[in-house]
Structure 1
Amino acid sequence: MTSIIEAVRKEVEHLNREIAKAVERPSWEMLRRFVQNQLYIVPHDLKALSVAMAKARAPDEYTFVKMLVDGDYAAYNALLKLAEELRVEFRWRDIDPAAVAYTHFLSWLALHGTLGDLAVALVVNLPVWGANCLKLAEWARANGVKHVEFLEIFKGPYHELERLAEEVARRYEDMEKYIYVAKAIQRYELDFWRAIASSI
């Protein structure tokens, strides 16, 4: 049986290549902008995932969403340590609308999508996001940053999460919608990396 997740991933390979390119030249400014916008994104992601829990019905759905909530909560605490080290505080004027569109789409999925939509979006996105974060972590560590846990927490592996996501996605199967959801979330991912790399 063909994996839904792998079939959808093939549809966004071109976007994933562009996302990988977007972090080829890390800098202090990129790292600061990364943290500034993540201070907005991560709390809103956590709230969106908490809302999504209300849609869970089957045991594997509860497990899947709980894994996501736990992961984001751990990431939030790691982000605060990184922000403190870099002396970055949340300020509305530092938030780039292009950089934070991802979390707005995640909120839309939590409210209006199925758990299948959410499962596809997140397991398609996480490995790509995690790979870029690792590139930034490597640069940050080489430049003396100590608290890089946030940048490494998404590195995977995602075997159990992907197994659960496949089951949930098959239960709500809608390939046309899944492909749209994957393209949308990866486009917003690309927008994030391009925004924090921009000098504008």
Structure 2
Amino acid sequence: MSAETTTAATLIEQIRAELAPIEEQLAGHGFVTALAAGDVPSSALEQFAGEQHWIISSDRRSFAHLAARYADEPGGDLFLTLAQGEGVALGHLRDFARWLRIDPDVLTSTAPTPGAHAYTAYVSWLALNGSATDVAAAFLANLAAWGTNCGRAAQALRSNYGADDDAVAFFDFFATPAPGFEDQALAVIDHGLRRGDSPSRALSAARLLQAYELMFWDAMSAAAAEA
């Protein structure tokens, strides 16, 4: 797979085919299934909120750094949009915390668990070391799985836990892809490939990010089991 003969569309098609087994595990993950059955205790939901505060806050800074790294390239606008989106998500997360009767200002006191924190640690690594192609490809492959699980979580919280629209706005926000995101990401990838970015490195970035996504949900299942 060489940059000279690979397009963004063919690269993403290959990535999605390779990641299909992990995608399948994410789509039927036990934590979301337990949530749909009303079997996740409030303490595990509180842990989820705390973990997400660490993740979203860190990812926001990572995307801002990427926007600065690629300010004069197509990736700059994409990463700035993603950073702004994380800011919106943080506001919605505070509403979720209030519904859980947690003071949003103490979310930072939640100790992150290694399995849940691995995802955002790798995003930070990508912000420092990854190409724009690596990041755009990894998130284009990853966000669909995250969005699907957020949509299922929102439905479960409404139907089984009595959550209102404000409480689940965090999940609703991620459940619907941002308009134009895929086209914008593909344009960034095409630009990078024409410049010589490695398709193999982008594939590795996507594979690792998706694996860390699975680790996050596994950590949430462990928190629910221990509650």
Using structure 1 for the length normalisation, give the TM-score. Answer: 0.92
Moved more, 167-176 or 70-79: 167-176
| Inter-partner Cα distance in structure 2 for 1:195 and 1:178 | 26
Task: From the superposition, tell whether residues 50 and 91 of structure 1 become closer, same or farther in structure 2 (CA, over 3 Å).
Answer: closer
**Mapping 1:114-129, distance limit 5 Å:** 114-129=131-146
- Give the drift of 1:156: 2.4
Q: C-alpha separation between the residues in 1 aligned to 2:133 and 2:112?
A: 30
Bigger mean CA deviation after superposition, 98-107 or 55-64: 55-64
Q: Residue type matched to 1:156 in 2?
A: T
**Partner Cα separation in structure 2 for residue 91 and residue 45 of structure 1:** 15
Structure 2 gaps of 5+ residues are 1-6
In structure 1, the residue matched to 2:41 is: 28
2:76 maps to 62
What amino acid is the match of 2:116? Answer: A
Report what 2:199 is aligned to.
175
Q: Could you tell me how far apart the structure 2 residues matched to 1:153 and 1:40 are?
A: 18
Identify which of 220, 223, 227 aligns with 1:196. 220
Provide the C-alpha distance between the structure 2 equivalents of 1:59 and 1:107, rounded to a whole number of angstroms: 20
The alpha carbon displacement at 1:148 in A equals 0.4
CA distance in 1, matches of 2:176, 2:72: 25
Unaligned runs of 5+ in 1: none
Amino acid at match of 1:24: T
Offset, 1:158: 4.4
Return the alpha-carbon distance in structure 2 between the equivalents of residues 84 and 167 of structure 1: 39
Match for residue 84 of structure 1 among 83, 98, 104 = 98
Contact 1:4 1:170 in 2 (8 A): no
Greater C-alpha radius of gyration: 2
Task: Give runs of aligned pairs for residues 131-170 of structure 1, distance below 5 A.
Answer: 131-142=148-159, 143-146=161-164, 147-158=167-178, 160-170=180-190
Displacement over 3 Å in runs of 4+ = 91-94
Determine which of 17, 22, 44 is the counterpart of 1:15.
22
Amino acid of the structure 2 residue aligned with 1:115: A
CA shift in 2, pair 1:167/1:91, >3 Å: closer
Give the aligned partner of residue 5 of structure 1.
Answer: 12
Corresponding pairs, count: 200
CA distance, structure 2, for counterparts of residue 193 and residue 114 of structure 1:
27
Which shifted more, 156-165 or 43-52? 156-165
Instruction: Determine the C-alpha separation between the residues in 2 that align with 1:31 and 1:137.
Output: 12
- Given candidates 211, 217, 220, the residue that maps to 1:187 is 211
Deviations 1:45-93 (A, max 9, x none): 1011111112214453222112211211110100011112102342545
